[in-house]
Amino acid sequence: MSEEQINTGAENAAQENNNDPAPAERTFTQAEVDSIVARRLAKAQKGMPDEAELTAFRSWKSDQQTEQQRIATLLKERDAAQSDLSAALAKAEQLERERYLLSKGVSADDVDYIAFKAGKLVNDTTTFEQAAETVIKARTSQESKDSARVDLGAPLFGRAQTPQPNDAMNALIRRARNGK
């Protein structure tokens, strides 16, 4: 059928009606139809990539996705490492401050308090050591003032001691223990 002529339905109708003066439609051979179709397909596919190009594009796209995931993972790991480093540096600085305060003779019970107070005084012009010296001196002077005010509870020169609110309760407890 490659060389046979293809007749359209309109041409068959024109042959049956010979008295119709309408011009006859053109008929195409199979080879002509094939070449027309091939030209139209070539024209339509002119801007389209071939199968090799599509395969290369798909592999590049998957590589890009993998690369983005790898970058995201590396960024998360970097952020975690930075936060761990910051925490370790803060802990090391705290230990250095505590060691410094202990070397200055601060009791172990007071180290955290004084380190906190001195840390609040640290700025661009004041180092931790300077701030610690200031806090230690202020605390020492306050303790010496407090020790001067301590009432040891013993009456001086015959003066009677002022009764405290708990004295009555303490007396009752003593009597109960002694069985009187």
Listed as ranges, residues in the chain with pLDDT below 50 are 1-10, 13-14
Q: What is the pLDDT of residue 83?
A: 95
Question: In angstroms, what CA-CA distances link 131 with 97, 126, 154?
Answer: 11, 7, 40
Express each pLDDT in 27-60 by its tens digit: 889 998 999 998 888 888 777 877 888 899 888 8
State which amino acid sits at residue 2. Answer: S
Cα dihedral 42→48→52→58 (10° resolution): -160
Q: What is the pLDDT of residue 3?
A: 40
What predicted TM-score, i.e. pTM, was given to this entire model? 0.43
